[in-house]
Amino acid sequence: MVRGLATTVAMTLLVSSHLISQPLLTQPTLVTTDWLAHHLDHPNLRIIDARPTLRDYLDGHIPKSVYLNTETLRVSLGGVPAQLLPADRLAEIFGAIGVGNHHTVVIYSGADDAFAHATYVAFVLNLLGHRSIGVLDGGLEKWRAEGRPVTTDFPKLMPTRFVPRISQKLRVDWLTLLQSVRRREAQTLDARSPKAFASGHIPTARNAFLRENLQGDKIVTWKSKEELIQRFQKLGIDLKKPIITYCTSGREASQLWFTLRYILGIDRVLVYDGSWIDWSARKLPKESASR
């Protein structure tokens, strides 16, 4: 009987260990506050607060979330600001805040940035080969409005190792985009405001202001799939053909990328992460009239 009990315990531990090692998500996904609340205590979950201001995090955040400012992931290269750090440096940052390859990572920001800070962290993680990623729909505002717990305590997370496995299918450089524009092959979407777009944009680009992907006033969430599809079709976008997104520095473009690729399921969506800053620094062609 003792041997049988020991075997049962061993099997239970083995099954539990297997379940814990399994990712909670298999690809970048929009997750609900209900989903996050249900998995909040899962040992394999890491939560990142990506809101722009540290003060907001100090004033209150979702329990167990660690703060990461998106500017930590960028640096001036050759004098051009807001360029992504090399992959090994990015991997060091995620490892330092306790994110390893085996973790499921949920990121949130807020309505003020149209969740672009959250999707930018998701983009960078995905670029490093990570797949188990969630972006919280409604951000902290929705979480608070539902009466869910908020804390000022910091999580106790040990640094770990994050090994990058770079994906070459998520981004495009200036030369590839320029060639595509010249051949009029690119479906290029500019995530900036109409005012910024009108003042200057990449030739042939269409303005797809990122905030138009969202709905609501005090509590802001993503629009339904049907509404999003209608929106892009009205812009004249063929959702069966490749799409390139850009903005000022790549951050807002990541929200368009996430919306198209992981909410609408369109595979061939790339981010020009150098975006308008890089394009302008290279003095590449531009248009000033909106399309």
CATH code, 54? 3.40.250.10
- Looking at the fold, whether 179 and 139 belong to one and the same domain comes out as no
- Looking at the fold, whether 91 and 206 belong to one and the same domain comes out as no
Does residue 42 form part of some domain?
yes
- Looking at the fold, whether 178 and 140 belong to one and the same domain comes out as no
pLDDT band at 4 (very low <50, low <70, confident <90, very high): low
- Looking at the fold, whether 103 and 190 belong to one and the same domain comes out as no
Q: How far is CA 113 from CA 70, 151, 214, 219, 251, in A?
A: 12, 22, 11, 13, 10
pLDDT at 148: 98
- Looking at the fold, whether 46 and 113 belong to one and the same domain comes out as yes
Lowest mean pLDDT among 10-24, 80-94, 96-110, 150-164: 10-24
Does residue 97 form part of some domain?
yes
pLDDT at 17: 45
Query: Could you give the dihedral angle defined by the CA atoms of residues 76, 163, 172 and 139, in that order, rounded to the nearest 10 degrees?
Result: -80
Which residue has better confidence, 75 or 290? 75
Which residue has better confidence, 31 or 12? 31
- Looking at the fold, whether 184 and 223 belong to one and the same domain comes out as yes
- For 242, how many CA atoms within 13 A lie in the half-sphere containing its CB? 15
Range of 68's domain?
21-145
For the segment 141-155, the average pLDDT, to the nearest whole number, is: 98
Does residue 169 form part of some domain?
no
Does residue 118 form part of some domain?
yes
| 273: three-class secondary structure by DSSP | coil
The number of distinct structural domains making up the chain is 2
Over the stretch 190-205, which tens digit does the pLDDT of each residue have?
A: 999 999 999 999 999 9
CB 93 within 8 A of CB 160: no
pTM recorded for the entire structure: 0.92
